[in-house]
Amino acid sequence: MTAPIVYPLAGKRVYVAGHRGMVGSALVRRLQREPCDIVTVERGQVDLRHQAAVGDWLNATRPQAVFVAAATVGGILANDTRPAEFLYDNLVIETNLIEAARRAGVEKLLFLGSSCIYPRLAPQPMPEDALLSGPLEPTNQWYAIAKIAGLKLCAAYRAQYGCDFISAQPTNLYGPGDKFDLAASHVVPALIAKMHHAKVTGAPSVEIWGTGTPRREFLHVDDLADALVFLMQRYSEDSHINVGSGEEVSIAELARAVGEAVGFRGAFHYAADKPDGAPRKLVDRARLEALGWRASISLREGLDDAYRWYRAAADRAA
Ligand code: GFB
């Protein structure tokens, strides 16, 4: 059974913060199928790290619903080597948007977190109440602390001001609009870019960071956007809620799947000097599935789609 719509988006002005990013652009694509009015603003016009600019923009625009998809994001190496940016940018962006949304009388806000909020050795699959039950994974603790603060802000604003602010915690994401720069990217775009490069140059092998044994759950960003629109309309609880696909693979298995999608038939060389990160990250989807939502894009289909997008973007750049 599907949970009823408690907050219809029909006729609403909906602000997507972070619309140039992978998640924000997927949200805009998904919202174009709803009878709502989508508003966005460019970074050059409003820097979300500047409190007054954010307040002025929201007061002038008066959206009724807000998706907070704006964030400084990156893969394991970017997180580990740029801790100040990951902590500061994310804290200040979410704080500015959430406080300005309250002041501007926003009716509903959805804040986007990450499965790295859970302890490094959380029980698997990770239920929502595993939050703050143990130490964080060191490679992404800075980002995790900022995301924990964001979800707690939503709960605090609900408790003190009665704001209908919710938060969703997605598992590892990939898809169109991803970052393919190897110093900043997550594993899926990194492997697509490396294997494509090896295929066209005839290189015999590609480097895979770490041991290949960590396990990750991957969700296509279009599935995530669909889940976020679903939650915006049908979820209004105090607790954050997980969004996952249930498709969990080891990094070695992922490398083979990306190899098939790209058509790379060479060898993999594992670089043990690079971090593995958390041994496993699979979110518990029971709460979301009880509301009636499930992912629909398989990892194999999703990788084909991501690779098509990567080639089209490379053609456009050339
Ligand atoms: O996707 P990823 O960077 O992030 O790495 P996390 C996942 C796994 O893939 C790690 C391995 O074990 C990496 O060592 N890996 C193998 C690679 N080859 C590569 C490569 O070429 N590039 C990358 N990036 N990884 C992130 C957090 O952790 O999880 C983010 O850092 C966010 O902040 C995200 O929370 C959900 O899954 O380890």
Is 88 a catalytic site residue? no
pLDDT bracket for residue 122 (50, 70, 90): very high
Indicate whether residue 187 lines ligand 1 (CB < 6 A): yes
Q: Which of 118, 143, 235, 310 is catalytic?
A: 143
Span 194-233, pLDDT tens digits: 999 999 999 999 999 999 999 999 999 999 999 999 999 9
Residue 11 alpha carbon to ligand 1 centre in Å: 39
Q: Which of the listed residues 76, 82, 114, 264 should we mutate to test ligand 1's pocket, taking the one with most ligand atoms within 8 A of CB?
A: 76
What is the pLDDT, as a whole number, of residue 317?
86
Give the β-pairing of 215-220 and 248-250: antiparallel
Atom 31 of ligand 1: nearest residue by CA position: 76
Mean pLDDT for 48-65 is 98
Cα of 233 vs its chain's centroid, Å:
19
Span 235-275, pLDDT tens digits: 999 999 999 999 999 999 999 999 999 999 999 999 999 99
Q: How far apart are CA 245 and CA 299, in angstroms?
A: 9
Which two three-digit tokens encode residue 113?
Answer: 């977190």
Written as one letter, the residue type at 1 is: M
Beta strands in the chain (DSSP E): 13-17, 37-39, 65-68, 108-112, 164-170, 172-174, 205-209, 215-220, 241-243, 248-250, 267-271, 280-281
Whether the CA torsion 62, 44, 188, 200 is positive or negative: it is positive
Span 7-31, pLDDT tens digits: 999 999 999 999 999 999 999 999 9
**Residue 40 CB partners (closer than 8 Å, separation 6+):** 15, 16, 19, 24, 28
| Ramachandran area for residue 137 (φ above 0: left; ψ -120 to 50: alpha; else beta) | beta
Indicate whether residue 186 lines ligand 1 (CB < 6 A): yes
CB 289 within 8 A of CB 1: no
Indicate whether residue 208 lines ligand 1 (CB < 6 A): yes
Mean pLDDT for 282-295 is 98
Cα of 102 vs its chain's centroid, Å:
23
What is the pLDDT, as a whole number, of residue 299?
98
Percent of the chain's residues with pLDDT above 70 = 100
- On average, the pLDDT of the chain sits at 98
Q: How far apart are CA 9 and CA 144, in angstroms?
A: 30
pLDDT for 43 beyond 90: yes
CB 33 within 8 A of CB 54: no
Give the β-pairing of 267-271 and 205-209: parallel
Mean pLDDT for 28-35 is 98
CB 205 within 8 A of CB 252: no
What is the pLDDT, as a whole number, of residue 256?
98
* Model confidence, pTM: 0.98
Percent of the chain's residues with pLDDT above 90 = 98
